[in-house]
Amino acid sequence: MAKIKKRGSSGASKNYITRSQAVRKLQISLPDFRRLCIFKGIYPREPRSKKRVSTSSTPSTTFYYTKDIQYLLHEPLLAKFRDQKALAKKISKALGRNEVGEAERKERNLTPRLRLDHIIKERYPTFVDAVRDLDDALSMLFLFANLPSTAEVPPKIITKCQRLTREFEHYLIRTHSLRKSFLSIKGIYYQATIQGQDVLWLVPYKFVQRTGGDVDFRIMATFVEFYTTLLGFVNFRLYTSIGLVYPPKFDLKAEEQGAGLAAIQPEGQNAEEREEDAMVTGTNEKAQAEADRLLSLPDADGEQQEPAKAAAEQSGADTEEQAPPANTLDTFQSLDAKADALLQPSATADSATAGHLFESFTFFLSRETPRHPLEFILRSFGCKRIGWDMSLGEPGAYCGENDKRITHQIVDRPDLPLPSPPATDGEADEEDGTAVRKGNERVPGRVYVQPQWVWDSINAGQLQRADLYAPGATLPPHLSPWVKARKGEYDPTLSLAEQETAAEIEAAEDGEGSEVDEAEADAALEAASEGEEVAGVRGDSEAAELEEELSEEDGGMDVELAGSDSEVDDAAAAGAQPDDEWGGFSGDEADDTALDAAAKATRDHQAELLAEATGQKLSNTSSAKDQKKAAREASQARRAREEREAREDGERRKMMMPRRKRKMFDKMVYSNARKDEEAEKLRGKRRRIENVGGARAGAGAGGK
């Protein structure tokens, strides 16, 4: 008889372990078990069948790999957790005996210190691995750096997060590693390239943060404790890689006064600048000595070289040797016009390009703009001269608002008026005789832009048109730099003419035609009732005649207008006869025919009056509309025939497919149709907005 196996000794149940079993096996409390799993990077696992994995009748919800828990048995932090538990018992006993001083002494001297250095080395064997895992760490630390100090978040943690994040930002500024940024509802997204790895993190806005009661700050504090250790290691490696001493000096007094990023003063920065100046001076002296030496050397013919020629040749050689290679980006052209567009390389792919984008400008940040994000981005892309209002912090400001060196001012307020005319004798300044400028006036020679101009410029890799971002202007759409529009999808950067389909164009023309007809009728009535406008177009005499014709009875139009000469001519052209010669029909049928002819004549007469009022040439509108309608119907029939043929061809091809591939194809067609419908809705919404904007612009121009 075979030996009966015990349940849970083999198979899937042996590979998994419940959380309660893991806590009993490690002999620690549940909060310590959570901290240990966060530090070691061990997460719950979801088995395929919980019924097979569970070894008890009670259903378990949280499972871990047995090997992971076995790995935790040898963790040095377990001893620290047990020491903390023993110390907590001693402190509670001292407090029970009312020995408060003894309890404080034990807590101050006997509290074990947790060090996570060995865990950082275990989880990240190489520095590249640590850089790849910086996304969540930076997002969490920037979040805690902006939180207010509460009982759950002590000020010590906030200060530590602020210092580490400022150090990281200073490294990005020095190396010009920032690449892209995006303003979203959640906050500001940043992307930097560090040693070939793209790091993306989120920074919340500088609003008053209110912490809710449903957030477990104990778990978040555990993550912060691990991430601060990780970012400290990364900052140390980054600073030493560029020759700076870590940790850098942090001027707390300057930070309290609003210095911003200037509060960090890393050691070795001035020394490096002096070394660069010395290297440049030494290179110039060496070149001059080499040029003097060449003056005394004979050339191939045995003659002395001319000083100017020798110096020019030597300087040219030095330029060729010292000139960096041209970082020109290759542009790939597609050979097939119907093929998908090739992805072009980004213009901000290297730090050299990013370091010179704003290098030649001097910026001033108005009080209403977000100073820290703008300062960080501008300095990361080469700008070294940034000023702001002295009341916000004088130590880090480069200049004031009235400084003549300012080339660009970033404002976020309505349109600023132009400067007032030159001041009179009584309005001049008493000190230097210059006019006193108001705070809400523009300075001549200075470019005023909104903050979005900075973000769009760095994402595009080049400076955008400043007139599109002027104060009070309607800004272009701010799009995510990481989302690229695919073929067939709606692209806000393109015009409607470049992405509309034939069916949408015809539908839009049909809608515009009906709107035009209504607009023509309204315009005719308006032109008929307002004789002054007609007089301004056609002259006083003609306007008076038109007004007399249109206002025979209370200024309105009546059926009697059908008796005019033009209507008689139109009726004759349509196959009808004048009223005095007509005798074919009688009764209601004759009345209906007369009313139809009168209505048609009235519409034609309105069109004629409108053409005369606007000074346009009267054309045969009915024939033109009929021709346009016929052409539209022909194109619709042709498109319907093509769609039917394509659908039939697709059905024939589907018949040859296996069932699995046929289902996949149906899902793909369904998803593509949903995307096309969404794109069509977005294009229709944009068309309506543009039509409303154009109508308002036309109305404004007509009113002027």
User: How high is the pLDDT of residue 30?
Assistant: 93
Domain ranges of the chain: 12-109, 117-247, 530-577+588-620
Phi-psi domain of 434 (left: phi exceeds 0; alpha: psi -120 through 50; beta: other): beta
Length of the chain as a residue count: 704
pTM of the predicted model as reported, rounded to 2 decimal places: 0.68
Which among 323, 372, 378 has a CA at the least distance from the CA of 356? 378
User: How high is the pLDDT of residue 528?
Assistant: 44
Contact 252, 64 (CB under 8 A): no
User: How high is the pLDDT of residue 302?
Assistant: 42
DSSP type of residue 574: T
Structure tokens at 561: 């207008």
User: How high is the pLDDT of residue 216?
Assistant: 86
Residue found by looking up tokens 């290098």 in the block: 359
Contact 354, 148 (CB under 8 A): no
Contact 81, 30 (CB under 8 A): no
**Contacts of residue 400, Cβ cutoff 8 Å, sequence gap at least 6:** 387, 389, 390
User: How high is the pLDDT of residue 550?
Assistant: 41
**Other Cβ atoms within 10 Å of 131 Cβ, number:** 20
Interatomic CA distance for residues 619 and 608, integer angstroms: 9
Q: What are the respective helix, strand and coil percentages of the chain, to the nearest 5?
A: 55, 5, 35
Angle between helices 77-96 and 30-40 (to 10 degrees): 150
Q: What are the residues facing 428 on neighbouring strands?
A: 435
User: How high is the pLDDT of residue 181?
Assistant: 95
Provide block-wise average pLDDT over 10 residues at a time, the chain (704 residues): 68 84 92 93 88 74 90 91 91 91 89 90 94 95 92 91 94 93 95 93 88 84 94 94 89 78 73 42 43 41 41 41 45 62 54 82 92 93 90 80 90 80 51 52 88 94 92 89 78 74 71 52 47 42 46 43 43 44 47 60 74 63 67 77 83 85 86 84 82 67 56
